[in-house]
Structure 1
Amino acid sequence: MSRAATLLFAILAYAVFFATFLYLICFVGNFPFAGTTVDHGPASPVAVAVVVDLFLIALFGLQHSVMARQGFKQAWTRTVPAQAERSVYVLVASLTLIVLFTFWRPIQGTLWDATGTAFEMPLWIGFAAGWGIVLLSTFLLNHFELFGLQQAWFHVTERTAAKPQMRQPLFYKWVRHPLYSGFFLAFWSTPVMTWGHLLLAAGMSSYMLIAIRYEERDLVGLFGKDYEDYRHTAGMLTPRLRRRDV
């Protein structure tokens, strides 16, 4: 793949990701103008809907977990150029989400409905804050490296990426995984919690808790004792109230 083609592919993958990310907000927020959402879509018997939705969540989780592991990356880059590996990951992840949007089956029944109550606005604020934290967290580290654009640009300009450094900007001083914290907040902050939304929120939350375990193992392998010490001072998803004994 030529340098120009690599950059063009990275830009295309990023564009697909960003459009998918915006749709994910509408999907989870159940905004009617979005068309298919967590609570609006093809009707199915409850048992069928549960099986289909669980399969879609598992597909998303497996794709993210497997392709993000160092062992897979090492094998994958024997086929895919290293400078395009992250862009391929981003594109496949976006396509997996598109599959989830397309085949999701709503499950009716309401656990809570805060519409018109004093809780509605705080829940919407939590929803917006969650997505804001997600996006800001990517920029606090390196948004363009995270989504493959930096790798392609460095390939075009013949630059070498700096060695990864362990940093704790802003949220990361207190929370090790603020990006996941944002997702938790976004998935669970809703004025209307249906059974379908509960399944999505619980399924994605379970995936994130599993993903954190593997991600931290990779980070310990990358940064060693520095990351181990960091785990004693910063909470996983929420700030730590007291320092954990070593």
Structure 2
Amino acid sequence: MLILLFFSWLFYGAIHSLMASNYFKNFVAEKMGKYVRFYRLFYNVIAFVLLIPVLALQFSTEKNTLWQVSDYEAISGKFISVLGTIFIAIALQGYDLGEFSGIHFKKQDEIPAFKTDGLLQYVRHPIYFGILLLFWGLFVADASTKSLLGAIAVTIYLLIGVYFEEKKLVLVFGEKYKAYQKNVPMLIPFLRF
């Protein structure tokens, strides 16, 4: 069951990344024609629907602990997870949530604004950082094999996703983004990573 859980997370990440790729977007744009403006909404609905069975598997998998968690570890892990959730919520405030969700449509050739304010001045991918805190905090809180596998799979997915996302951002914003890469950490605030 743990192997299935691990590969479910990786499969979800692969589908999510494929759908976010320029190659897939361009393919869909050819097929959808004028309806391509609905792509972001379609992408988010599919991502949400595909996440449901993965989360169901995550929560239904038997909990085998790797060691007995102390009260301090449990509290620390929950604190880290809550901090990650707060970080995600603050990061989302820096985006146009209507556009981010796909509810508000933009023209396909419209270039998004290059933003470096809010949490983006400390880390290039604040939502991903929050997700890492959330998942690794869950592992610290319960030290279970399923939490560890979930955290490892999500970390692998995010590292691969960030690699491709960075390439897209360099294509869109060019030298401006390259300078930003040199000055702001990718995933962990205040570290050169």
TM-score by length of 2: 0.87
1:139–1:161 CA distance, 2 compared to 1 (3 A): farther
- Say if 2:147 is the partner of 1:192: no
- Say if 2:22 is the partner of 1:70: yes
- Say if 2:172 is the partner of 1:239: no
CA distance in 1, matches of 2:110, 2:174: 18
Structure 1 position 124, deviation (Å): 1.7
1:83–1:214 CA distance, 2 compared to 1 (3 A): same
Contact 2:125 2:186 in 1 (8 A): yes
Higher Cα Rg, which structure: 1
1:133–1:112 CA distance, 2 compared to 1 (3 A): farther
Aligned length: 188
Task: Give 1:100's aligned residue.
Answer: 54
Runs (4 or more) in structure 1 with deviation over 3 Å come to 102-105, 112-115, 159-163
1:202–1:142 CA distance, 2 compared to 1 (3 A): same
Structure 1 position 99, deviation (Å): 2.0
Which structure has greater helix proportion?
2
Q: Deviations over 1:182-223 (max 9, x none)?
A: 000000113212001100111111100010000000000000
SS at match of 1:149: coil
TM-score by length of 1: 0.70
> What is the identity percentage for the equivalent residue pairs of Structure 1 and Structure 2?
26
Question: Which amino acid in 2 is paired with 1:164?
Answer: P
Task: Give 1:109's aligned residue.
Answer: 64
Question: Which amino acid in 2 is paired with 1:226?
Answer: K
Structure 1 position 241, deviation (Å): 5.1
- Say if 2:80 is the partner of 1:126: yes
CA distance in 2, matches of 1:132, 1:112: 28
Which runs of no fewer than 5 residues in structure 2 stay unpaired?
A: none
- Say if 2:10 is the partner of 1:55: no
Task: Give 1:35's aligned residue.
Answer: none
Structure 1 position 141, deviation (Å): 2.2
Q: Deviations over 1:44-70 (max 9, x none)?
A: xxxxx1331123112211111000011
CA distance in 1, matches of 2:162, 2:112: 19
Structure 1 position 112, deviation (Å): 4.2
Which of 67, 79, 89 is the aligned partner of 2:31? 79
Q: Deviations over 1:61-81 (max 9, x none)?
A: 111100001121111122331
Which of 160, 170, 177 is the aligned partner of 1:220? 170
CA distance in 1, matches of 2:56, 2:77: 26
CA distance in 2, matches of 1:160, 1:65: 19
Q: Deviations over 1:11-34 (max 9, x none)?
A: xxxxxxxxxxxxxxxxxxxxxxxx
Task: Give 2:119's aligned residue.
Answer: 171
CA distance in 2, matches of 1:241, 1:66: 29
Structure 1 position 101, deviation (Å): 2.8
Q: Could you say what the CA RMSD is over the residues aligned between the two structures, in angstroms? A: 2.3
SS at match of 1:58: helix
Residues 204-215 of structure 1: matches in 2 within 5 Å?
204-215=154-165
CA distance in 2, matches of 1:58, 1:122: 27
Structure 1 position 119, deviation (Å): 3.6
Question: Which amino acid in 1 is paired with 2:28?
Answer: W
Higher relative contact order (CA 8 A, sep 6+): 2
CA distance in 2, matches of 1:160, 1:99: 31
Which runs of no fewer than 5 residues in structure 1 stay unpaired?
A: 1-48
